[in-house]
Structure 1
Amino acid sequence: MTNLEKYVNAFVEGLGVEEDVVNSKLEYQSVPEWDSVGHMGLISELEDAFDIEMETDDIVDFNSYNTGIKILKKYNVEI
C-alpha cells in the first residue's frame, strides 16, 4: 500500500466516509463526519498507519486534506 493509499484510507476509516469524499477540497467540518470526535479518529488512524505520534499543535492545525500532507512531511511521511 502506498503512502497516498494509507492517507486516504485513514480518512475513510477515521471519519467513516466513502473514499470518493476524500480529495483536496476536504476540510474540517466540510462533512458532518469530520467533527471533533471524527478528527480524533482520523488522527489515530494516521498515527497508526504511519507509525508516528503527532504533536498537539499539529493535531490542532490539521484542518484539511492538503494541510495534512504538509504536516505529515514534518514526520518524514511523503504523500
Structure 2
Amino acid sequence: MSNLQKYNEVFTTLFNIDDNQLNKDFTFKNVEDWDSILHLSLITELEDTFDVMFETEDILSFGSYENGMKILEKYEVSFNDV
C-alpha cells in the first residue's frame, strides 16, 4: 500500500467519507465534522500510521488534507510512491 493510500485511508476512516472527497477544499473550515476531538484523533492515527511524532507547531497548522501531506513530507514521508 502506498503512502498516499495509507494517508487517504486514515481520512476516509475517521471522517467516514469516500476518498473522492479528499481534495484541496477538504479543510477544517469546510468540513463540519472536523472538530478538536477529531483533529487529535487524526493526528494520533497519522503518527501511528507513519511512525512519526509531530511537533506542536505542525499539529496546530494541520488544517487541511493538502497541508497534511506537506507536513508529513517534513518527516520524510514521501507521496511519490503511487
1:28 deviation in Å? 1.0
**RCO comparison, higher one (Cα < 8 Å, 6+):** 2
Structure 1 unaligned segments of length 5 or more: list them: none
Give the secondary structure class of the aligned counterpart of 2:52: coil
TM-score (norm 2): 0.84
RMSD: 1.3
Structure 2 unaligned segments of length 5 or more: list them: none
TM-score (norm 1): 0.87
Percent identical: 43
The reply on whether 1:39 has 2:39 as its aligned counterpart is yes
Structure of greater Rg: 2
Q: Which runs of 4+ in 1 moved over 4 A?
A: none
Across the two proteins, how many residue pairs are aligned to each other?
79
